[in-house]
Each structure stands twice: as structure tokens, then as C-alpha cells.
Chains A and B, each alone.
Chain A
């Protein structure tokens, strides 16, 4: 029978990537004599090799075999753990990853790198070559001889004298004989000479021996293979009878009669047509041919999977159970309802609310993964970078268990890599400079993650020289981003590094000067609904703080009403909501209105005119203003009324309708109606397009506003 195992390939791949990650992080922490760590690295390599062999991914198997051999030598203490070897192993992990990724993506991988590394591995192994791959040659020889002679039917005489304790190893001669009978026609004769008197019999011992006659097409190797597991616990002779079938069968009958005290004489399950046993068939192609087409489809349909802890699933089931109870309680109430039961109804609804909330949280929790998934790559990255730059750097990871939505996690990876590269390259000073500044030679980069309100904060901190305020300002001047006379706060100066085309590095290094600037980092973070801030102190270091929403699927929203429409403003963007005071309203030319909010002039955007709908109030004084902020720019949204705050599930407008400027999505409210979620940054850019024209007529604006416009124009 053939068993199709290709369905297990995705889980093998997933497991392999996990194994590689484990290998990598363990290698980075590997110290002399740390048996547990080296064992776990070995196990990971071993599993990958085993799985790859099963699926016939020979490239992976061969390569991993070398890695495993090296690890095995380290594990046995035959080889001490040298930094050099660790580097080679790290390279090897990269190669294995390339190989496995190539399998996943069904592409060819860069064989140069693989070849180079395997030569390196072989070279390393050759220094101390004790017992590398003798086992492989062994099995090959076996396989060859097994395939040699599987032709004519021949007769074999087998003497099988097991040792008395054979059954205590879990072996049972009966099954062995059954397996032999699968090979051909079997006649067996038991010999009970050794059987002691009943009183002396030990029930756990085996006293019998057997003489077997087998007519089969199978080779001696095949026959001996059946006894593979017992060969050390028995005397076994296998001899071929050089006679024709007919004579042989007569002889065997004769032998049965003459043999010593024959008490059993039965053919065991003999089959009329001896087939080539599946064992031999399997030997011929020791790897399973993977149906390529099926695998291809699978890889393409793979939308990514999440491994979920059983506890999370259990809590879901538990909650659904409670939901069902509440539901049945409510429907019972509804069957026979009168006003006296209002209180009961209320408490039922209360419970429903509670259940739903918990259910929602649990479902969200399924998408949540510890941020260690994103952090895991950094030890290796910093290790490599520190080698490349010659800077000694220690990486400290904190809050690795902080959970984050899978999608957010996937998209925050690259920006974080950039920030860490940046910290190594620009943050940490060279050793001489550090010593001169009275700091320890070794620089420290700290990655920290924690929850704050409804968002997650990721901090990338270095204890380097800090951002050179003057250099940033000069550069900005040179690029024409600021003009000479402006005075900026530190934060404003540091924010300049997120401007497009901004780089203070005197010369571009291949580490962080890759043409992808901090502006891209900022954009990526903003597209996730997050923001980034910098703090820096000369000589002490810098901290980049990334704020991200926990999830992209649910949003805390403020419901507002304009006319008969309800809109949702993301709560995170709201600075304050206020009733406008008449004397703070400034009308500038055109129909542009600015509201004086402390030191800021906030442009007022009437939502009714933005979306061209009817509203209750047309003038600023009688409306309410919701001041929102995005990317450091504030605007006031003019609305008729403020309603409740609630969590809303975001539905994509693109999927259901089409992209609309100023709207980021929609949601369905409790009463079933659809409400639009306002896209604040979109609205701000719409507003600036409009105000830009207005500004042309106005020259005496203060810097703040000018800056806003230039930023707004770059959207």
C-alpha cells in the first residue's frame, strides 16, 4: 500500500523553521560545556534531517548531515566548542534556511553559498574525522545486495535457536514467522528438546527452537532482515538448498518426519503466490516520491497558519458554552415575557455583554503572538553587525512575552531591523570613542516591549553618543527642510531624521545606508496605525519608541453625528473635544476657519462640507469640535454631536465597495446600520491641499503653520 505523506510537508516546513530559529538563538548563547544547549541544537538539526529524508528533500538531508555530524562531535565532547565552529554553524543555519525556503517556494536556491559552506563544514570535520558516515555506506551496501537476487524461487533452510530471554525484549517468534510467511511458503518445525519439566519452567523464558523451510523469491538478505532485531539473541543459520522445487518439497516432508520430536507441523499463513513483500518494494526507493503538483498547490494556497495553544482554544470553547447558556436563558424569557421580568432580562443582557466581550478578547488572543517572534532575529543580526563593524555590542531583550497581533508583527519586523541596524551603525560609537568618553567598551542595545493602554510600545535603546543635534539641524538646512532662523525644540530636531532623503552619516555604510531611510520606517509604522518618537541625550544614548495598536481588526472609536449620519473617529487620534468659543475662531480668506487652541492655530474642517451631506449646524460656534492629531498635525473636525465611545470591528471598504478619500473603513453598529470610520491622516492631507491655496494669499504666518504645510504637501 502506498501512503501519501505530502500533506505533512507544510507542518514539517513550519517545524523546521522553528528548529532553525532555536538553533540560531542557542548557537548565539552557546558556551563551553553547556550540554543541554548543544543537545537541543543537535536535536533540532536531527529532526530536520529526519523529516527531510522522509520527504526526499535530499539537498537538506545531505547538508544537515554534515551539520549534525559536527554537532555530534561537540555533543560527545570529541570537539571543543570554538568560536570559529559556531560561526560555521551559524552560516550553516542560514544555508539550511535557504534550502528549506527553496522547498517552500519551489525555487532554486543559491547553490554557491551552500556549496561553500558544505566545503567549509567538511573541511572542519576532516580535522578530526573519527566516525562520520560509515553508517550510510553500510545501509547502502545492504540495499544493494537486497536488490540483487530477487528472481527465481528457491528453498531456504533456516535454523532458529533463540536465547531463553528473547521474549523479554518484546520479540515474539510467532510474528517473525508471520513475516517470513509473507515472503513465501513456510513450513516450520518446533523443537522442544530443551523444554524443562513443568515445575522448572520459568514462564518468562523461551525454551523452543525451530527449523524452518521457506520457498521464496526473496534473497538471503531479505530473510536475514526479518531476524534483524533478534540476531544477537539467537543462533541463526540460513542456507540455500540447491535443488528443484519438486525435490525440495519432498525432502522437506521427509525432514519433518525424521526431525527430532516434531510436535508442531503446520504451514503458517502460506500464500499461494508469494509476492515481493512491501519491505523490498520500499527498499528500492527509500524516499517517498512526493507528488509535486499537490505540493505546489499546497504551497500556493498557504495563507499562513497560526499555532494556537490548547489553553486558548479551551477558553474559547468554555466561553461559547456560556454564551449558549445565556442565549437559551434569554430565549426562554422571551417565550413568556411580561414587564415583571424586565430585571431578569436586563441581567441576562448584561451577561450577554460580558460573554461577548470575553469571547471577543479570546478570539483576539488567538491572533496574538509573543513579540519574541519578531525579536528572535535580533541576536543574530547584532552578532553579525558587531562582527562587521568591529564594535562590541551586547543586546538585551526585555518583555519578549508581550503579545502582539500576528499581522502587525509581520509588518513591524522590517522597520525594527532598520532601527536596530541604525542603532548599531549610528548609535553605538567605536570602542576608542567609548573609552575616551569614559564608558565601557561594550555598547548595549536594549529592545523592550510592553503594553500601554490599548497599544504596544516597542523601545529600541542604545547607550551610544546620542543624536548630534547640530549635525541634524545643519543637514536639514542643507536639504532645505528648515530655514536658518527657525528655532526648534529638541524633539522637533530629532523628528527631522524622519524626513525623506535625510541621512546624517558622513559616508554611507552598507549597514544602514541602504537607501531605505527613516522616512520609510516612519511610513511603515504609520500605515499600521502607529507612531514613532525619538529621545536622545548627547553622550548617553538614544531611544526610539514605537507605538502600535495591538490589533488591526478592532478599533476604539468615538461615535460622532453629522446630520443623520454617524461617523467614527479613532480614539487614539483624538486630542480633545470642545465647544468652540467665539473669540478664538479666526476666519481667514476664503471659507477657511482656524481655531486658536492654546498656542496652535487649528484648521477647522466641517465634515458636512467634506462629504457633502446635510448637517444640523453650519456655523462653527454652535457645532462641536473634535481636535484630532496625526503625525504632529492637528485639525478640528466640526460635528453636530458626540455620541458613545465603543470598540468597532473594522470592515474593509476596499473589499466591499471601493476606496474613498478620507474614509479608512466601515463598521456595523449595534442597530445594524453602517458607519464610516474617518481616516484622519487622509482628511488632514485633504485639508492641507485646500489650505495650501488659501495660504498663498497669506504671508505673515508663523513658522509652525508653514512647516505643517510643507509636511502636508509631502503626503
Chain B
């Protein structure tokens, strides 16, 4: 089963992403910020990480950089969930090793359609 790590500081967004993924048959784990996400990533394997950018403690960009340092996450797709679709944001994500980005407002159908580009 495809396992997805959902990292967002907003409870409701996290719940919604998780719910959407589960309803499409993915398995999910949730983390409330970058640090929490990194800890969870170290203790389990994931096929995909979806992370918010703006978070307390550790933001999404830093999480991405840290994950890429882990052997297990060298090739794992990491998608940034962002409202900022500007080029600057994408470049920062890319530079940190992000695979792609999902533009908010969060839309479940679109989420499911787009993550097919990176996971089974």
C-alpha cells in the first residue's frame, strides 16, 4: 500500500488531505510541523511526503532539505502544499529538493489526479 506522510500545522487541512488520500486507498501518517514530520520520517518509510510550507518549528523547505539528506528519502517524492504559486516559491522548493508543488486552495480531486505523477 502506498504510504503518504502529510505534514501541515493546520489540523483541518491535515485532516482533509489525509481523508482524501485514505478515501482513494492510500495509507497516511500525519505530522503537525516540519520537526514532527522529520521525526516520523526517520522512524518509518514513506512513498510520498506532502508538506505545507509555512509551519512553526521547522518549515516545509527545511524539512525537504533535511529529508533529502536521509538515504531513505533520496528519491522519495516530496510535494509542497503552497498558496504561493510564484516562480520564486517554486525555485526555493526545487532548490531544497522538492519534487513538485500543489497549489492551494486544496482541492481533493486535483490532489488525487496530480499525485499520480509521482506515486502509484
Which A residues fall within an 8 A CB radius of B?
1-3, 5, 8, 11-12, 15, 39-40, 42-43, 46-47, 49-54, 61, 131, 134-135, 138-139, 167-172, 175-176, 178-179, 182, 204, 226, 228-229, 232, 277-279, 281-283, 286-288
Give every chain A residue within 8 A of B100 (Cβ-Cβ). 171, 228-229
The answer to whether A3 and B19 have CB atoms under 8 Å apart is yes
Contacts of B110 on A, CB cut-off 8 Å? 278-279, 282-283, 286
Is the CB–CB distance between A5 and B78 below 8 Å? no
- What distance in Å separates the Cβ of A309 from its nearest Cβ neighbour in chain B? 14
Distance of A47 Cα from B33 Cα, bound (Å) = 13
**Roughly how many angstroms separate A2 CA and B117 CA in the complex, as a whole number?**
19
A43-B54, A134-B86, A171-B118 in contact; A287/B107 too (CB < 8 A)? yes
Main secondary structure of the interface of B (DSSP, over half): loop
Bound-state Cα–Cα, A8 to B15, Å: 8
CB < 8 Å neighbour of B117 from A5, A49, A229: A229
Contact of B107 among A54, A135, A178 (CB under 8 A): A54
In the assembled complex, 13 residue pairs joining A and B whose CB atoms fall closer than 8 Å, in A order, are A11-B15, A12-B12, A15-B10, A43-B54, A47-B13, A50-B13, A50-B106, A169-B99, A171-B117, A175-B118, A204-B74, A279-B113, A282-B113
CB pair B94–A169 under 8 Å, yes or no, is: yes
Contact of A168 among B74, B101, B112 (CB under 8 A): B74
Instruction: Give the contacting residue for A61; candidates B9, B10, B103, B105; CB below 8 A.
Output: B105
CB-based contact A277/B99 at 8 Å: no
Residue of A nearest to B21 (CB): A3
Q: Please name all residues of chain B whose beta carbon is closer than 8 Å to the beta carbon of A53 when the two chains form the complex.
A: 83, 104-106
Nearest CB on A from B23, distance (A): 6
Q: CB distance B94 to A5 under 8 Å?
A: no
Question: Contacts A171-B117, A279-B114, A283-B110 given; 15 further ones with Cβ under 8 A?
Answer: A1-B24, A3-B112, A43-B54, A43-B56, A54-B16, A54-B106, A131-B86, A168-B97, A170-B75, A170-B78, A171-B100, A175-B116, A229-B117, A278-B110, A287-B105
Q: Is the CB of B9 within 8 A of A226?
A: no
In the assembled complex, the Cα of A12 lies from the Cα of B98 at a distance in Å of: 27
Q: State the Cβ distance, A60 to closest chain B Cβ, in Å.
A: 11
Residues A135 and B109 in contact, CB atoms below 8 Å apart = no
Interface of A is mostly: helix
- In the complex, which residues of chain A have a beta carbon less than 8 angstroms from the beta carbon of B107? 54, 282, 286-288
Contact, CB under 8 Å: B20 / A3: yes
Q: How far is the CA of A8 from the CA of B56 in the complex (A)?
A: 22
Structural contact, A167 and B75, CB atoms closer than 8 A: yes
Q: How far is the CA of A8 from the CA of B23 in the complex (A)?
A: 14
In angstroms, Cα B11 to Cα A12, docked, is 8
Given contacts A1-B24, A229-B100, contact A50 B10 (CB under 8 A): yes
Task: Please list the residues of chain B having a beta carbon within 8 angstroms of any beta carbon in chain A.
Answer: 9-13, 15-16, 19-20, 23-24, 54-56, 74-78, 83-86, 94, 97-101, 103-110, 112-114, 116-120
Indicate if the CB atoms of B13 and A51 lie closer than 8 Å: yes
Residues from chain A with Cβ under 8 Å of B120 in the complex: 175
Chain B residues contacting A167 (CB-CB under 8 Å) are: 75
Which of B9, B75, B85 sits near A135, CB closer than 8 Å?
Answer: B85
B-side contacts of A176, CB under 8 Å: 117
Query: How far apart are the CA atoms of A282 and B106 in the complex, in Å?
Result: 11
Q: How far is the CB of A108 from chain B (nearest CB, A)?
A: 23
| Complex alpha-carbon distance, A1 and B108, angstroms | 9
Give CA–CA (A15, B97) in the complex, Å: 31
Taking CB atoms, residues of chain B closer than 8 Å to A135 are: 84-86
**Contact status B23-A49, CB under 8 Å:** no
A-B residue pair count with CB separations less than 8 angstroms? 139
- Interchain nearest-CB distance for A674 vs B (Å): 43
Contact residues in B for A2 (Cβ distance below 8 Å): 108-109
Name the distance in Å between B107's Cβ and chain A's nearest Cβ: 5
A230 (CB) vs chain B CBs: closest residue: B100
| Alpha-carbon distance between A167 and B110 when the two chains are bound, in angstroms | 23
Chain B hits for A8, CB < 8 A: 12, 15-16, 19
Select the residue from A52, A54, A182 with max chain B CB neighbours within 10 A: A54
Q: Smallest CB–CB gap between B92 and chain A, Å?
A: 13
Known contacts A182-B116, A229-B99; A3 and B74 CB within 8 A of each other: no
* Nearest CB of B to A611, in Å: 52
The reply to whether A43 and B12 form a contact with Cβ atoms under 8 Å apart is no
Interchain nearest-CB distance for A178 vs B (Å)? 6
| Residues of chain A contacted by B77 (CB below 8 angstroms) | 170-172
* Pair B83/A50 contact, Cβ less than 8 Å: yes
The complex places the Cα of A50 from the Cα of B53 at a distance, in Å, of 12
Q: B54 contacts which chain A residues (CB < 8 A)? A: 39, 42-43, 46
Contact at B101–A229, with CB atoms within 8 Å?
Answer: yes
Quote the shortest CB–CB distance from B110 to chain A (angstroms).
4
The residue in chain A whose Cβ has the minimal distance to the Cβ of B100 is A229
Contacting pair B83 A46 (CB below 8 A): yes
- CB contacts (< 8 Å) of A168 on chain B: these are 74-75, 97
Contacts of B83 in A (CB 8 A): 46, 49-50, 53
**Given A50-B83, A229-B101, A281 and B12 contact (CB-CB distance below 8 Å):** no
Beta-carbon nearest neighbor of A228 in chain B: B100
Chain B min CB distance to A625 (Å): 57
CA distance A456 to B101 in the complex (A): 50
On chain A, the residues within 8 Å of B15 by CB distance are 8, 11
Determine the chain A residues whose CB is within 8 A of the CB of B106 once the complex forms.
Answer: 50, 53-54
B9, B101, B104, B113: the one contacting A43 at CB < 8 Å is: B9
> A5–B99 contact, CB under 8 A?
no
Nearest A-chain residue to B20, judged by Cβ: A3
Are A281 and B109 touching (Cβ within 8 A)?
A: yes
Docked Cα-Cα span, A42 to B107, in Å, equals: 22
With A47-B10, A168-B74, A171-B118 in contact, do A277 and B113 touch (Cβ < 8 Å)?
A: yes
A139's nearest neighbour on chain B, judged by CB, is B85
A5 in complex: contacting residue of B11, B19, B119, CB < 8 Å: B19
- With A11-B11, A281-B109 known to touch, is A170 a contact of B118 (CB < 8 Å)? yes
A5 pairs with B10, CB closer than 8 A: no
Nearest-CB residue, chain A, relative to B10 = A47
Q: How far is the CA of A46 from the CA of B23 in the complex (A)?
A: 26
Tell whether A278 pairs with B118 under 8 Å between CB atoms, given A15-B12, A138-B85, A139-B103: no
